[in-house]
């Protein structure tokens, strides 16, 4: 079996999931925590080398305050859960805006936690324009685009899995995603089960990977 | 009905289509010409404002010479067919490499042809790294990323339709694609029929477009 080195996770559908259950939309995020941890352990057991979670974005911070507070708290809680596992953890995003939770600042340098292990990246207040804004500082460099963006420590993504039925990237790491295979799960993220992940890996195994060639 | 302003077209599967019919893979491209023209007229009849075809890429030029010659010729022929319609036409890509067909140089400035009309962009020897390499020249500009890339004349894409069953962007306009909805047709491009396009538009109409918000 061909295992993708790096999987990108777009855990979408928390708000729709909550609304469908008669809850306030902001209550959905909390139900995404357990899936995140389950997925982490599952990916590790498959031998995946790197995983990137799409936490929240600069764009998301245009939403009402009560929603912002809910997804900020969920991301803080998720990072704490991940930090209790053995990983090489990096939280990355625009730390200079108010929307970035101060509690996550200690994680913004990659750190081996509990003996290290799989690379885990967590995008917090990430923006694709913010990411590429780092490019301009390099003048006439012959260095690759990838090596000059703010998220250069995140490697090329082999497989992106998006929950919640939408077929779009929504600004997710445009440079690392140029050649990624894109698998969409119809179910909402809080309804995550291991079968979704396994089906995605099976599908990935049927793809002819050419990296644009 | 909600009509996407700008549709990106990834006409993939020409080689597989030819191979499945016992032809040489390089013979497939020629069967993609008629579909390209049909699609153009169909999109125009729907009121689409802009359409971008993924011709060939810098990456593709690593393929064997006989394949390169075949897809270069197909792109020249396709552009000539399009140039017989009423469009505002732009051929765009890295003109400084040998892989760019000299016959297409006259089209590399946007030109209203036969009275003008829908914007049609045709990517020829396009590379995402080439596209973004233009960014560096701007120093500390506050201008948007989009306005500073080499393909800045191509607008944000609402809907990408890819033929040939692959679920990936393969380096297609990463900046204009950050928020695009992505529809995949299982059939190979030479098997194009209007129903594929109509299904894609129907699907697009069911999407909740948020531009990352």
Strands (E), chain B: 6-11, 50-57, 87-92, 111-113, 118-126, 159-163, 181-185
Tokens coding A24: 């306030």
In this predicted model, what pLDDT tens digit does every residue of A172-187 receive, in sequence order? 999 999 999 999 999 9
**Percent of all residues in chain A with a pLDDT value above 70, rounded to a whole number:** 97
Q: Which of residues 22-51 of A touch B (CB under 8 A)?
A: none
- The residues that bridge with A185 in the sheet, in sequence order, are A163
Q: CB–CB of B8/B180 below 8 Å?
A: yes
Per-residue CA distances from B20 to A137, B156, B166, B196 (Å)? 49, 35, 17, 21
In the prediction, which pLDDT does A139 show?
Answer: 55
Using one digit for the tens of pLDDT, what is the confidence trace for B79-112?
999 999 999 999 999 999 999 999 999 999 999 9
Backbone angles phi, psi at B62, to 5 degrees: -85, -5
Distance from the Cα of residue B16 to its chain's centroid: 19
Token representation of residue B120: 């049609």
Cβ of B167 within 8 Å of Cβ of A177? The answer is no
Q: Where in chain B are the domains? A: 6-205
Q: Summarize the confidence of residues A146-171 as an average pLDDT.
A: 97
Q: Does domain A6-205 have CATH number 3.40.1180.10?
A: yes
Question: How far from chain centre, in Å, is Cα A120?
Answer: 9
Nearest to B168 among A59, A141, A180 (CB): A180
- Whether A143 contacts chain B with CB within 8 A: no
Measured CA to CA, the distance from residue B67 to residue B49 in angstroms comes to 32
The partner residues of B52 in beta bridges, in order of sequence, read B8, B121
Nearest to A175 among B136, B174, B213 (CB): B174
Q: Which residue has the tokens 């053995």?
A: A86
**How many angstroms away from the CA of A80 is the closest CA of chain B?**
26
pLDDT in tens, chain B (213 residues): 999 999 999 999 999 999 999 999 999 999 999 999 999 999 999 999 999 999 999 999 999 999 999 999 999 999 999 999 999 999 999 999 999 999 999 999 999 999 999 999 999 999 999 999 877 555 555 678 999 999 999 999 999 999 999 999 999 999 999 999 999 999 999 999 999 999 999 999 999 988 888
CB contact under 8 A, B213 and A62: yes
pLDDT over threshold 80, residue A105: yes
């Amino acid at each position: 079996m061909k295992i993708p080195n790096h999987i990108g996770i777009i855990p979408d559908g928390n708000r729709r999931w909550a609304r469908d259950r008669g809850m306030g939309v902001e209550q959905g995020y909390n139900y995404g925590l357990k899936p995140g941890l389950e997925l982490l352990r599952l990916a590790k057991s498959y031998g995946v080398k790197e995983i990137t979670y799409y936490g929240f974005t600069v764009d998301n911070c245009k939403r009402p305050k009560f929603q912002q507070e809910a997804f900020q708290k969920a991301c803080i809680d998720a990072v704490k859960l991940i930090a209790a596992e053995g990983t090489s953890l990096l939280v990355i995003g625009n730390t200079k805006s108010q929307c970035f939770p101060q509690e996550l600042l200690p994680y913004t340098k990659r750190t081996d936690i509990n003996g290290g292990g799989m690379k885990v990246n967590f995008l917090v207040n990430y923006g694709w324009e913010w990411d590429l804004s780092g490019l301009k500082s390099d003048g006439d460099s012959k260095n690759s685009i990838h090596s000059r963006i703010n998220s250069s420590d995140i490697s090329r993504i082999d497989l992106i899995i998006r929950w919640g039925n939408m077929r779009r990237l929504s600004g997710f790491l445009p440079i690392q995603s140029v050649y990624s295979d894109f698998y969409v799960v119809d179910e909402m993220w809080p309804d995550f089960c291991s079968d979704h992940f396994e089906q995605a890996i099976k599908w990935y195994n049927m793809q002819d990977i050419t990296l644009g060639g």
